[in-house]
Every structure is written in structure tokens, then in C-alpha cells.
Amino acid sequence: MAIEVRIPTILRTYTGGAKSVEGAGDTLSALLTDLDSKYSGLRGRLITEQGGLHRFVNIYVNDEDVRFLGSLDAKLNDGDNVTILPAVAGGAFGFAAAAALLGRSTAPVS
């Protein structure tokens, strides 16, 4: 089952510079595990130590943000396109306070 995955600039060090790679899996979680077997370390940049999706990245399946599709449990089908983008955020506020305010800490999202 082939799924095309678009890799942002900041993570292309893991893919030998490739902008897009192919992976397999019936959920986002399985796909990331498959990718990590070929591009070691990639998964660790997307998943926190607690096992949730990292706050600093956005992952999309086709045209949907996976946060609305069950996060790591999002279902994947052959031919789906997965896009990874760095989240663009920041501001004058302290990070811990900002994360608390948003109710989406760096802890697991699910």
C-alpha cells in the first residue's frame, strides 16, 4: 500500500534531501513507524516522548488536518497523500503559558 508523504525542508536531512517519499500503513501511526524503519529518527521529530503528535508539526491526510481525523489513529488508504508541515506559531508570551492557554500542550494530543 503506497502513500506519498511530503517532507518539509527541516526534516529532509532524514530523507537524504528528498521532498517526497513513499510509505505504507493503514493508520498514521503505522505509516510513521514504516517511515522510521527507512528514515531513522524521523518519527521522533513528529511524536513526543509521551507518544502524542508533536505540537510543532502539522500533518495532513489529503486536505484534512489529522487533528480532526483522530490524530495518530487517522485511517489511511492506498493512494492517500500525507503532507507534513512545520507549524508556524510563536509570540511574545512564554511557551508554557501559551501552550496552557491553548489547551494543547506538548503532551499527547489524543
Question: Which residues sit at the interface with another protein, rule CB under 8 A?
Answer: 8-10, 56-58, 60, 63, 65, 67, 83, 85-95, 98, 101-102
Q: How far is the CB of 1 from another protein (least distance, A)?
A: 23
| Complex with another protein: residue 63 or 78, whichever CB lies closer | 63
Distance (Å, rounded) from C-alpha 104 to C-alpha 25? 26
Q: How far is the CB of 37 from another protein (least distance, A)?
A: 24
| Complex with another protein: residue 1 or 105, whichever CB lies closer | 105
Of 81, 79, 76, 65, the residue nearest 25 (C-alpha): 76
| Residues 6+ away with beta carbon under 8 Å from 54 | 45, 46, 47, 48, 106
